[in-house]
Amino acid sequence: MAKEQLLDLPNELLLFIFQYLSAIELITTFSGLQSSRIQALLEPFISCLDISEENDEWIQTYLPDALTQRQIVHLRLKDKQIHFVSRYLSSSNIQSMNVISLGLNSELSEDDRVELRQCLKKLYITVDCRIKKEKLIKELFPKNSNAEYFSSTGCFIYPVNDQVYSFAQLTHLSIGLPTIRDVFMLLHRLPNLQDLRVS
Amino acid sequence: MQDEFSYYIKIINAENAIPCKTLRRVTFTGETKYFHQFNKFFAAFGSTIESLTLDILINFARPNGSDLEHDLLDKMPLLSSFDFLINWRVVNRNSDVASTIDIQTFQSVTWQKFNPVVYWNDIDDSSGGICSLPCKFNYVRDLF
């Protein structure tokens, strides 16, 4: 079926079809389509977006418009993608993120951290099981390291180098932390947290 | 214990950081080496917690009802929901297998507010644990 024929279908059928497509497929297929009817019907199906498996080309082509023009409220992404996303956070509706940590996220800039702190209400950090975390940390911080002060699971939220900051908006957090001291320290930077999950 | 936290407390004081006083739900999962420090956490942040879930594996400790009451429950006056599965491994099999925790300690006034608790001691597996009922954790459902 050609796209033009598809657009002739009634709303009920379009909604039925949209159920079987991912948010990524919907955005890829219908971005740029000048149809306010279709775009309005799409919104509930793309409010939660998973870009963790998308390549840089897709992200650069589709994500800026998706973040700034759509009502996307939840984003699932890899930590290395945060840098690209962070610049759009303040102009998007993103409130919730699920970050898949690869353990190499210590490169996150202070500007990116600021954006996260100001915008996010919910943050879920999960570790990619394919990465052997401890081995990785040993390789990254071989001797006399600051590994004690880094958590491979979301070090961008973890206090590093005596930084003064707080995540004022954050109400939900799921994170892996190595010691109770980390939890203790973190909670002094989350004044409005309501739901905490620690693994 | 204070020494372990002194570095962090020093930083926190220097920042005039505002501690979280809005926590309602807390969940700890997985193997933890810091169970003995939970009391510190709940003393600091437990006053607002209404729901607590523990699904943890610990070593070197076998908490009974009095331990949990003193270290956790007493520090959370608003707690109304407490679901837990605490597993432990028997470290020194020869000396520990025969000893069991006192289940009478789960019959205090404080524990009356919460659901019943089941306790098991698996001699063959050198392990044991306690779990609140009805069980919400797959591991225990498989066990029984």
* Model pTM score: 0.77
Q: What share of chain A is helix, strand, coil (3-state, %, to 5)?
A: 45, 15, 40
Question: Which segment of A10-19, A102-111, A147-156, B33-42 scores lowest on mean pLDDT?
Answer: A147-156
Measured between CB atoms, which of A183, A191, A195 is closest to B18? A191
Cα of B43 to nearest chain A Cα, Å: 11
Instruction: Find, in chain A, the residue whose alpha carbon is nearest to that of B11.
Output: A162
Query: For chain A, what are the domain ranges?
Result: 1-46, 48-198
Measured between CB atoms, which of B4, B19, B30 is closest to A187? B19
Residue A142: other Cβ atoms inside 10 A:
9
Residue A113: other Cβ atoms inside 10 A:
18
Mean pLDDT of B29-55: 88
Run of H or E including A127: strand A122-127
pLDDT tens digits, B44-99:
889 999 999 999 988 878 888 899 999 999 999 999 999 999 988 876 655 555 56
Bigger pLDDT: B108 or A2?
Answer: B108
Residue type (1 letter), B126: S
pLDDT tens digits, A45-75:
999 999 999 999 999 999 999 998 888 999 9
CA–CA gap between residue B8 and residue B3 (Å, rounded): 10
In terms of residues, how long is chain A?
Answer: 199
DSSP symbols for B92-127: SHHHHSS----GGGG-SHHHHTS--EEEEEETTTTE
pLDDT at residue A160 is higher than 60: no
Q: Name every residue whose Cβ is closer than 8 Å to that of residue A131 and which is 6 or more positions away in sequence.
A: A102, A103, A152
pLDDT at residue A194 is higher than 80: yes
| A194 interfaces chain B, CB cutoff of 8 Å | yes
CA torsion through residues A136, A139, A144, A145, sign: negative
Which pLDDT band holds residue A91 (cuts at 50, 70, 90)? Answer: confident
